[in-house]
Every structure is written in C-alpha cells, then in structure tokens.
Chain A
Amino acid sequence: AQSVTQLDSQVPVFEEAPVELRCNYSSSVSVYLFWYVQYPNQGLQLLLKYLSGSTLVESINGFEAEFNKSQTSFHLRKPSVHISDTAEYFCAVSGWGAQKLVFGQGTRLTINP
C-alpha cells in the first residue's frame, strides 16, 4: 500500500517570492508521482507527473518537482510565484501495478501582494 504526507497544510508567501511545497510518500514498490492543482471552486488539474526517466519534471507554468527516491520525496517548487498561483495543491502516489491513486491532505498556497 502507498501513503502520502504533505508536510504543510497552509503556505503563505509574498508575490514574486520562491515557494516549496513538501511531499513525502511511503511505498514498498516503485511509484508514479503526481501533483494536482485545484483553483477555488474548480476541479483538479494535473500540474506535473513523474513516471520514469529524469527525476526533475516541469510544468508549463513554471513549477517543477524532483523525485528523490532515497528521501522518498517529491517536493514542488517555483522560483517566483504570482497571485494567480493561489490554489490548493495535492500530491498523489500510485504504486507500479497498483490500481489506485492515493492523495495527500493538500497544501493551501496563499499569495500575498
């Protein structure tokens, strides 16, 4: 079975500051990892995913995440945030051969001007 822990329930930052949203997972098998974003009153959108290959994955809007197998982490980073990044971010894991996607509790990112 897999589990996910998002270490911060809320992260407030100033506009144009860097941000890191932390995600740790637990699994006895190899994993696929995902970050989803949920803007206010909307559904979930895939931000980026790690399936295999390069451990650094990027999204089209400037976010990146690095798969660290030894630390069982998949932290999400952005060097400079914008007001429009205000949202809730969910880390999720699926084990190879598993049939389910398991979510963390979510991190609410608030951008202050």
Chain B
Amino acid sequence: DAGITQSPRHKVTETGTPVTLRCHQTENHRYMYWYRQDPGHGLRLIHYSYGVKDTDKGEVSDGYSVSRSKTEDFLLTLESATSSQTSVYFCAIRGDGSTNYGYTFGSGTRLTVV
C-alpha cells in the first residue's frame, strides 16, 4: 500500500536461525505495529511503537523483539525462529488526524520456518 512497504515479501528459514523483517513508512506517522495472521485467529498484535525507541508488547510477543531507531523504520526480529512462528506478518501505521484517523497495512511478509 502507498506509504508503507514490507520486506522481504517471502522468506523461508530454518528452525533456530534469527530472522528480521522490515517495515518502512513514508507518512511520518508516530504509531507503527506488527501483527501476525493465522487461520482462525484473525490478526494478533505482536509489538507496537509509539515513537522512536518507544515500543511495547502486544498479546503474542513471546519470541519476538522490535526496534525503532528512526521514525520511518520498524524492525521485527525473531531471535531463534520456531515452526510456530510460520505465519503471515503485517506491519501497520496509524494516522491520527480527525479525518484520516485509521490504520493502513503493508502487503505482508509470508514467513515459513522449516
């Protein structure tokens, strides 16, 4: 989607290896989010950020860490990937204006841990 890009789009990795997913925005929004999507669970929040170096946990944060050193970039790291982390990962940004309040999602990263 315009203003937000995720990389890579697809990745296959082995159990136990570290993996980093990147989310980049050009909207200068304060809030950024990482969700995972799994069948029957909808989207569940992993971590979010409310500013540079300001982050907090979501409902499924175990096994994940994040970093935000610049407004435009939000990184999600799987320190030691497990098969249960096979999923589709979505990044989102939030606009806070009175008319543009809402969440915009990236195209997703499909991660397979073998």
Interface residues in chain A, defined as those with a beta carbon under 8 Å from any beta carbon in chain B:
6, 9, 32, 34, 36, 42-46, 49, 51, 90, 92, 94, 99-106
1/0 contact trace for B39-58 toward A, CB 8 Å?
A: 01111110010100000101
**B contacts with A, residue count (CB < 8 A):** 25
Residues of B within 8 A of A49 (CB): 102
Known interface pairs A46-B104, A101-B92; A90-B42 also in contact (CB < 8 Å): yes
Known interface pairs A99-B50, A100-B48; A9-B40 also in contact (CB < 8 Å): yes
A53 to chain B, nearest CB (A): 11
Taken together as a complex, chains A and B put the C-alpha atoms of A34 and B43 apart, in Å, by: 13
Given A36-B105, A43-B1, 13 new contacts (CB under 8 A): A43-B108, A44-B43, A46-B102, A46-B103, A99-B31, A99-B50, A100-B33, A100-B45, A101-B103, A103-B42, A105-B40, A105-B41, A105-B42
- Asked if B112 lies at the interface with its beta carbon under 8 angstroms from chain A, I say no
Residues of B within 8 A of A51 (CB): 101
In the complex, the answer to whether A44 meets B42 with C-beta atoms within 8 Å is: no
A36 to chain B, nearest CB (A): 8
Listed from nearest, the 7 A-B pairs whose CB atoms lie closest are: A103-B42, A44-B105, A103-B43, A43-B107, A105-B42, A106-B42, A43-B108
B41 to chain A, nearest CB (A): 6
